[in-house]
Chains A and B, each alone.
Chain A
């Protein structure tokens, strides 16, 4: 009796989330979503670049060199945001023991690492003309560098353990412990006296910059966000095929059949 009730309960749900968390249902869904996110990334990217280079006025102090902000801030935001997403997926995998969650965390790690790298790279190319140094051991820069190392540590830890279940568990613990670094990056400019400028956008104060500059940064962030989703979905499909290569549903896929 209770069994019947249970099944009718789960069928009455609009979307069965646990069914979606199975790789065999998620794989075709991800395939359909990827083009959508690519289109969004291109649209937001075109609009963002247009605002960054043709609408936003020249800065009174930094001249045209300040335009690096339109790529530096979005990559920095995404590097932190992707880390939180990655840790959340890894944590879900640890709690519910769902295969797909761990694969999502694994798919997000490289794109997050690239964002952290680009944040440091564009920061160096901004710091050189404005501060006179490519790199300083400043709180914000150092904590962002640690974030890059956390990503690289997660990737290499997972790669070094042969048993996928154990690799997922070890990676999840590393990812969750590393979360503590994200607020440190965010608040570093407040907690320490640093060379890096304070937050350019604040939720509590009116933005300390021209509206058009804010729009440029937001559009570029949306572009990178959509790009990250598209790339993570592409990578998770590859990971699913690699890990589930012996499952029956993989053999029935049209792209795999001869």
Chain B
């Protein structure tokens, strides 16, 4: 169907429209899981710090 990669990327003159659509989707589908992972890591870090603080309280209380 495509004779060259240049022809593929040109999309029969619709390159701007086709690649803007697929590009935006690819970008969002990539960024969303990354932002969730960052959120997950930050909550785990907070929980760890809380436990550490509690441990410290217990040990210094003795």
- In the complex, are the beta carbons of A125 and B21 less than 8 A apart? yes
Point out the residue from B14, B39, B43 that lies within 8 Å of A64, measured CB to CB: B14
A65 within 8 A of B: yes
Task: Please tell me the number of chain B residues within 8 Å of chain A, measured between CB atoms.
Answer: 32
Instruction: Point out residues on B near A: beta carbons under 8 Å.
Output: 1-2, 8, 11-14, 16-18, 20-22, 24-25, 28-29, 32-33, 36-37, 39-40, 43-44, 46-48, 50-52, 55
Knowing A57-B1, A242-B43, A256-B48 are in contact, say whether A122-B36 is a contact too (CB < 8 A).
Answer: no
Contact sample, A vs B, 15 pairs, CB 8 Å cutoff? A53-B8, A54-B1, A64-B11, A64-B14, A65-B12, A65-B17, A75-B25, A121-B21, A122-B21, A125-B20, A126-B21, A235-B36, A238-B40, A245-B43, A245-B50
Q: Report which of A53, A126, A257 forms a contact with B51, defined as CB distance below 8 A.
A: A257
Beyond A118-B28, A258-B55, is A71–B21 a contact (Cβ under 8 Å)? yes
**6 tightest A-B CB contacts, nearest first:** A64-B12, A65-B14, A122-B21, A64-B11, A238-B40, A125-B17
